[in-house]
Structure 1
Amino acid sequence: MKLLVAVAPDRFRDEELSEPMKIFQAKGVETVIGSTQIGECVGMMGDRVEATVTFEDVSAAEFDGIVIIGGLGAQDFFWSSKELIALVSDFYENGKVVAAICLSPAVLALAGILKGKKATVFVSPASTYAMKEGGASLQNDPVVVDGKIITANGPTAAKAFGEAIVSTLNA
C-alpha cells in the first residue's frame, strides 16, 4: 500500500500529519509527502517535514490513495491548487481512497467528488460554503466514511482518521 500525503508548505496542522503517519508506519503503509512545492514544510506548531514531490510530478496510478492534511495552510495553498484538485478527481475516478481532514475536505468539494456524499469538515464560514456548494451532505461527526471518501473535522479526530484510512485501504 502506498499513499500520497499532501501537506501545505506552511501552516499545516501538525497532529493531523503526525497521528495518521504513526498508524501508517505501524501498518506498513508506504507514504510520499507531496506539496505545492518541493522542500521543507512547516506546521502551525513547528513540526517540519520534507515534501519530495509536487502535485504536478505525480499520478494517481502510482498510489492506492491520497491523504490531504489540514490546517490554515490547506485553505491558503490547496483550495486554489488546480493541480491538487485535478489529482483528487483522478484518484476518485480510479476508485482509490481519497481522504481529507480539517479544512481540506473543501478540496474534495472543489474537485466535484462530494455531490450527494456524506462528509465532514472543520467548520468555518468558508469551509461550510465550499462543502455545500460542492453538494456534500454535511455530517456532525469527527470522521465520516462514504465509500472510499474519508473526511475528518480536525486535530482531535486525527488518530481515528488515520485508522479509518487504513481500514478502508484494507477493505
Structure 2
Amino acid sequence: MKVAFLVATEGIEQVELTEPWKAVADAGHTPELVSTESGRVQAYNHLDKGDTFPVDRAVADTGPGDYDALVLPGGVANPDALRVDEDAVAFAKGFFEQGKPVAAICHAPWTLVEADVLRGRTLTSWPSLRTDITNAGGTWVDEQVKVCTGGPNTLITSRKPDDLKAFCEAFLDALGK
C-alpha cells in the first residue's frame, strides 16, 4: 500500500512524522512525503529545529487517488499552514470522499476541521483543539488513540507524541497491516 504523509514546508513535529513513517515502511508499505511545495521540509522537536526531509510530491501534482491512506503529522505550525492551502485541504478531504483511512495526531486535526469532514465523527487531539473540533461538528474525547468508523472512512487520531505507539498500531490495523 502507498501512504501519503501530508505536511507543510515547516513546523512538523519530527517524531510525529518519523515514527509513523517507520511503522508504515517496516510493515512493507510505501510512505511518500507530500507537501505544499517541492524541495525539503523543516521538522521541529517541539520549538527547536530538527531535521529536513525531501518532498516526494507537491500536493498540487497529486491526489488521493494515488494513495491508499493518509497520515497527518502534527506540530502547531504544520496543520495551521496546511489549513490555509486549498490544495492541501482538498487533498485531505478527498481521502474521506474516497473512503480511505486517515490518521491524524496532535494538532493535525486542524486540517480536518478546515476540510469540513468531522461532523458526526469522534476523535481525539491535543486538548487545545477541543473547541475547534466541537464547533466543526465532531465529538472530542481524551483518549490515547481513537478509531472512528462512524463515517465514510476509518479515522485514527491520537493526542501527542507519547501516544505514538498506540497510534501507529491502530493505523497499521486499519491498513490490514
Normalised TM-score (structure 2) = 0.89
Corresponding residue SS for 1:48: strand
Inter-partner Cα distance in structure 1 for 2:144 and 2:9: 25
In structure 2, the partner of 1:162 is: 168
Aligned length: 169
- Residue 144 of structure 2 is matched in structure 1 by 142
Work out whether 1:96 is the aligned partner of 2:105: no
Output the CA distance in 2 between the equivalents of 1:107 and 1:54: 17
Deviation at 1:51, TM superposition (A): 1.2
Task: Provide Cα deviations, 1:11-66, integer angstroms capped at 9, x if missing partner.
Answer: 21011111111211110110110111111111112122111212111111111111
Q: 2:132 aligns with which of 124, 130, 136?
A: 130
- Quick check: 1:42–1:49 contact (8 Å CA) kept in 2? yes
Q: Unaligned regions of 5+ residues in structure 2, if any?
A: none
| Distance in 2 of aligned mates of 1:140 and 1:93 | 26
**2: CA distance between counterparts of 1:8 and 1:152?**
19
Partners of 2:76 and 2:119 in 1: how far apart?
24
The CA RMSD over aligned residues, in Å, is: 1.4
How far off is 1:128 after superposition? 2.5
Q: Indicate whether 1:77 and 2:74 are aligned.
A: no
Runs of 4+ deviating beyond 4 Å? none
Paired-residue identity, %: 30
Partner of 1:55: 59
What TM-score, normalized to structure 1? 0.92
**What letter matches 2:99 in structure 1?**
G
**Distance in 2 between residues matched to 1:51 and 1:86, nearest whole Å:** 19
SS at 1:44's partner residue? Answer: strand
Alpha-carbon distance, 1:165 to partner: 1.1
Q: Any conservation in 2 of the 1:8–1:74 contact (CA below 8 Å)?
A: yes
